Structure 1
Amino acid sequence: MSADAITVIVGLDIGTTGVKAIAVGRDGEIVARAEHGYPLSTPRPGWSEQNPEDWWGATRAAIADLGSLEIASIGLSGQMHGLVALDEAGQVIRPAILWNDQRTAAECAEIEERIGLERLISLTGNRALTGFTAPKLLWLRRHEPDAYARIARIMLPKDYIRLRLTGEWATDVADASGTLLLDVARRRWSTDVLDGLDLDPAILPPLLESPEVSGMTIGCGIVPRGIPVAAGAGDCAAAALGVGIDRPGPLSIVMGTSGVVFAALPAFASDPQARVHSFCHAVPGQWHAMGVMLSAAGSLQWLRDRLAPDTPFGDLVAEAEAWGPGADGLLFAPYLAGERTPHADPSARAAFTGLELRHDRGALVRAVLEGVAFGLRDSLELVRALGGPCDRARVSGGGARGLWLRIVASALGLPIELTAVEEGSAFGAALLGGVAGGFFDDVPDAVRRCVHVRETVEPDPAWQAVYENTYARFRALYPALDAVKENAR
């Protein structure tokens, strides 16, 4: 290491398409960034898998691309819910089954029957969904019994990178909340769920709080020995920290391919019907409620790819600006890939309603932007019902731009704040790494010193008045579409 090397915290985000690495200074300034991708395997319809070794190779390459920096600590975040299974020798048994894999519908039904839906929600804060980890274990037991019999320990995607960096097997309570095996209120593995599903608790990793030191690097050719690595968090909790959601009050909205509404809660609470998720937050002693819609910016991507593949997104949004709020009665139900919250329905379908001859491409775009905003509001209403105060929102993601921000602010009735750093989960991971490395006293100290608001978008009162009526019509869409879907079967 050169004498003039800069001391940094490294944040690693193990995503679905690639690893993002950022180097952050003590004041939260981004010193360097790098990203390396890897393939996604879909060997059968509805399946989604990756080779954990690809994550490790991309992690090594991304860290190397950060350059000659003195790494003081490392924080981890990553895609949630994925099942990584290792044998007694520490070898990966089969490709990891990812969060967006849909093969486990029968196992989800089995879990809710064996545990009881009401009891499952009270224990885990959630109902059984195909993306979660527990159904994947049951699927392996039923369909790949030889592989299941070899399992000595399991882990989540980012925790495989921890294992390779430090030799330590561990996870954090925020990421573990998405396994459906955690007693979320008590922040410990649920013996009731494990017993009910006949799962061996010995295969589960030790639990830590997100900013705790999970181990020291063992020297693996990319970083020196002895660097502390924070326990980290799942990508949604890390992204929320990255925009400053370390306490109840501000709301995090992520407008990526999917859309996320995330609010810290003053105490553990869960929706009786589990229409939104209740998880442990990455801040020790806190919880959060989260709604996830599957097609947010992905809805606009779909429209562009189908109707205007050579048109820049900015031009499409400019066409939408020619239409006022409500697009003269045109509505879009954003259920292109089914829906997760508040409708746990993989068979939900999208639709445009209210089309007239005078509606043009710009009107379709406007309706898509507004339909996504109303989908986010669905989750917001449920989060508020759990006690989340939600007095303003911090927004990140590729869709957090221009007209769409004005629409979201007005549809939600909240001022929208943009932060100076938009690195999302990797930045939140770096803040956790900074706490583990002694850069910051605790998570609130890290947020206070490193997260800064650069711009605020206020709701438009005239648009709000229109959207109140339009949102009521939007709420009626899903039941109507569901009836159409049932009649078509």
Structure 2
Amino acid sequence: MSGSGRPVRATVGIDIGTTSVKAVAVDDDGRVLARARVPHGVRSPFAGAFEHDLDRAWRANVIEALGRVSDGLDVVAVDVSAMVPSLGAVDAEGRGLSPGLLYGDRRGATELNDPDEPGDAGELLAFLGWLTEHAPDAAGYWPAQAVAAHALTGVGAIDSTVAFTAHPLHDYSAWDAGAAEGAGARVEQLPLVVPGVAPVGRVRDGLPAAGALVGAGTIDALGEQAVAGAEATGDVLVIFGATLITWSVVDEWAAVPGLWTLPHTAPGKTLVGGPSTAGGMFVDRVDRWAAPVEADELDALHPGDLPIWLPYARGERCPLHRPDLRAELHDAALHHGPAAIRRAA
């Protein structure tokens, strides 16, 4: 409540991450009023698979996270970000008929369309081909942002920035009907695309923050870049999520072996760097592999007496570009236990 007794006006941002949904509510000055994290599993039922339970991670957890941060606040707007690419088959009610396929999942890859890395052009098109074969009666084939938008508003939509990552399925102006048909789908089964500044609807009655405007969803890394303030030459932006992403801000467009070069949102600036698999997903895997330990056990370890991990449980992206790599543990000795294995990660 404000000093006047009225609920504080707030805006809510929600992020569908690889291992959880996070939400924050902020006031008009950007002060954080509430935050929440709702965990969910990421599944790899066989080699090459990387998926979510679509209904839980992209729908139920989004609504739960919104409810946790909106209580007692006057929420006027909500937007959802998520990783790219992702895609799942849904019925007419927006509920899952398939797993939610995530960046790097190998289902749908063919000799003619075999993206080298997660996020490469053609990966979403490969997902679509697999989904139309395994869920041919689906009403829609939507990424996480569209599933969340539908859960909140009843409209399955994404913003234009998300659509641009779908090339060649999206030609930067509209869905490509020929590409969609080649994968067994119709453009009507793909989400509505709206400009990034336009709302897609309002939160439905009966849900937390009912009546609040809802954006069409955006890309997680784009949102992180926008709020980080890393805009001056020499600034470095490090994003430690399931994927570890590092960007260096430079003046000129520069091709660096093994790294990515992308335009910055700041005029006249360029980003050089890229994603690594040696991030939170690897730490999460070690957390599942090793027995639980107390925090004081970790603190008591000498940093010079630890085994060494090569943290490539899903291969490595930048700068090695080696999808065949796997995690290795080196220099482990008889006196090393679960605490040492965790601390090394």
TM range (shorter): 0.7 to 0.9
Match of 2:152 among 162, 165, 181: 165
Q: Does 1:340 align with 2:340?
A: no
Q: Does 1:255 align with 2:257?
A: no
Match of 2:90 in 1: 86
Match of 1:228 in 2: 213
Does 1 or 2 have the higher relative contact order (CA < 8 Å, sep 6+)? 1
> Is the 2:87–2:143 Cα contact (8 Å) retained in structure 1?
yes
Match of 1:444 in 2: none
Give the TM-score normalised by the residue count of structure 1.
Answer: 0.55
Query: What is the one-letter code of the residue matched to 1:341?
Result: C
Query: What is the one-letter code of the residue matched to 2:141?
Result: I
Query: What is the one-letter code of the residue matched to 2:226?
Result: L
More helix, by proportion: 1
Q: Distance in 2 between matches of 1:260 and 1:302?
A: 18
> Is the 2:145–2:157 Cα contact (8 Å) retained in structure 1?
no
Q: Distance in 1 between matches of 2:217 and 2:27?
A: 18
SS at match of 1:34: strand
> Is the 1:237–1:281 Cα contact (8 Å) retained in structure 2?
no
What do you get for the CA RMSD once the two structures are aligned? 4.7
Match of 2:111 among 101, 109, 112: 109
Aligned-residue offset at 1:196 = 6.4
Q: Which runs of 5+ in 1 are unaligned?
A: 370-489
Residues 60-81 of structure 1 show CA distances to partners (whole Å, capped at 9, x for unaligned) of 3322222200112112112332
Q: Does 1:35 align with 2:37?
A: yes
Match of 2:224 in 1: 239
Match of 1:213 in 2: 199
Aligned-residue offset at 1:211 = 3.6
More strand, by proportion: 2
Q: Which runs of 5+ in 2 are unaligned?
A: none
Match of 2:279 in 1: 296
Q: Does 1:19 align with 2:21?
A: yes
Residues 27-67 of structure 1 show CA distances to partners (whole Å, capped at 9, x for unaligned) of 22111112333455555554323132564333333222222
> Is the 1:18–1:35 Cα contact (8 Å) retained in structure 2?
yes
Match of 2:59 among 56, 71, 91: 56
Match of 1:404 in 2: none
Between structure 1 and structure 2, the one with the greater Rg is 1
Query: What is the one-letter code of the residue matched to 2:34?
Result: A
Q: Does 1:126 align with 2:120?
A: yes
- Structure 1's 180 and 301: CA in aligned 2 closer, same or farther, altered over 3 A? same
Match of 1:138 among 123, 129, 142: 129
- Structure 1's 316 and 110: CA in aligned 2 closer, same or farther, altered over 3 A? farther
Query: What is the one-letter code of the residue matched to 1:69?
Result: L
Alignment of 1:305-344 (within 5 A): 309-310=292-293, 312=295, 315=298, 319-320=302-303, 322=304, 333-344=310-321
> Is the 2:88–2:99 Cα contact (8 Å) retained in structure 1?
yes
Give the TM-score normalised by the residue count of structure 2.
Answer: 0.74
Q: Distance in 2 between matches of 1:213 and 1:10?
A: 14
> In percent, how many aligned pairs have the same letter?
21
SS at match of 1:160: helix
